[in-house]
Amino acid sequence: MHLGLARHGNGPAGLVAQLASGRVANVAAAAAARTGELGDLATPKTLIAAGEAALDRVRGLLSQLSKEDTETHGAGGFVAEAEAFHFLPPIPDTGKFLCVGKNYHAHLDELSRNDLIREIPSEPTGFIKLNSVLSGHGDKVERPEGITTLDYEPELAFVIGKPAFHVGSPDAMSHVFGITLFNDLTAREVQKREVASGTRFWTAKNMPGFGPIGPWIVTMDAVQDVTDLWIGCSVNGEQRQRFNTRDQIHKFPDIIAHFSRYLPLEPGDIFATGAAAGTAFAQPNAADLYLRPGDVVEIEIEGLISLQTRIV
């Protein structure tokens, strides 16, 4: 399933899902109308926390809505084209958003050559993305005044589906609910100053809007192999990056086992798994590639989902 958080027209934000037709079902609104209450189907986060029984309810409801949409084209107002929805971050209030950095060898080399790291890690490392900077599919993100080195970092992210504490690598994947897309927007000149002063990218990666994510969480039953996904990035239709997750240094199980040694992970927690080589800062014509007002950035997991951001 493809699950998200979106607002239809002037209605409240709620759980939505993509039908096989590509149209979008307003799951939360349909559930409220047919049962008199939202319950576990209010948002992706409440659904994830509720477990498999709630997922089965969504599957049944989507089957009904798909059939009704075929017959009436709208399913009583609960199904529409994706363009009719405003997508929010699928989990805007995650308990933990941890970004695993330096997770592709070639990108690690780029960072080192450009004085953006001072060490070569021997285990998964990370920093925190703040909920307040997350933005949704199609949102406008303002390039902060005075920043001239705004860079893109397309990343595969995953969502924790059930509590994980002291989890070993062999059991780790059973704790993953699904995957999504994340663009770790970064102000490189600020990042370089933070590295030089010994801090961890707090400001460079946590300016307003610097966390485009979504629009969908793709449940694991719809993902063939998370270690063999192609990730792409284009700016104004020009391809800037294309890489495969097979090149990750630390895979999902390694990341979960490492962090759950000491941190209890909860349903709805998110991990971004790092960017590969090819972002703007390491290119010989970097000044021409940094993001400017008017640019449209699109990142994608090929064959699954795409996420668009407009720079203003």
Q: Which pLDDT value is given to residue 281?
A: 86
Q: Would you say residue 252 has pLDDT above 80?
A: yes
Judge contact between 181 and 213, C-beta under 8 A. Answer: yes
Q: Would you say residue 115 has pLDDT above 70?
A: no
- 232, β-bridge pairs: 242, 300
Query: Per-residue pLDDT tens for 262-308?
Result: 999 999 999 999 999 889 988 999 999 999 999 999 999 999 999 99
Query: Per-residue pLDDT tens for 183-241?
Result: 999 999 999 899 888 777 789 999 999 999 999 999 999 999 999 999 999 999 999 99
Judge contact between 93 and 45, C-beta under 8 A. Answer: yes
- pTM exceeds 0.85 for this model: yes
String of DSSP letters for the chain:
-EEEEEEETTSPPEEEEE-TTS-EE-HHHHHHHHHS--GGGSSHHHHHHH-HHHHHHHHHHHHHHHHHHHHHSSGGGTEE-GGGEEEEPSSTT-S-EEEEES-BHHHHHHHHHTTS-S---SS-EEEE--GGGEE-TT-EEPPPTT---EE--EEEEEEE-S-BSS--HHHHGGGEEEEEEEE--EEHHHHHHHHHHT--STTTT-STT-EEB-S-EEEGGG-S-TTS-EEEEEETTEEEEEEEGGGBSS-HHHHHHHHTTTS-B-TT-EEE----S--GGGSTTHHHHS--TT-EEEEEETTTEEEEEEE-
- Written as six digits, the tokens of 207 are 């300016």
- Written as six digits, the tokens of 206 are 């946590």
Q: Would you say residue 114 has pLDDT above 90?
A: no
Query: Per-residue pLDDT tens for 55-86?
Result: 999 999 999 999 999 999 999 999 999 999 99
Q: Which pLDDT value is given to residue 99?
A: 95
Judge contact between 209 and 133, C-beta under 8 A. Answer: yes
Q: Would you say residue 122 has pLDDT above 80?
A: no
Q: Would you say residue 109 has pLDDT above 80?
A: no
Query: Per-residue pLDDT tens for 28-55?
Result: 999 999 887 778 999 999 999 999 999 9
Q: What is the rounded average pLDDT of the residues 11-36?
A: 94
- Written as six digits, the tokens of 260 are 């759950």
Query: Per-residue pLDDT tens for 138-189?
Result: 999 999 999 999 999 999 999 999 999 999 999 999 999 999 999 999 999 9
Residue 250 CB contacts under 8 Å (≥ 6 apart), including other chains? 100, 103, 123, 124, 258, 273
Q: Which pLDDT value is given to residue 293?
A: 98
Q: Which pLDDT value is given to residue 117?
A: 59
Distance CA 11, CA 1 (A): 23
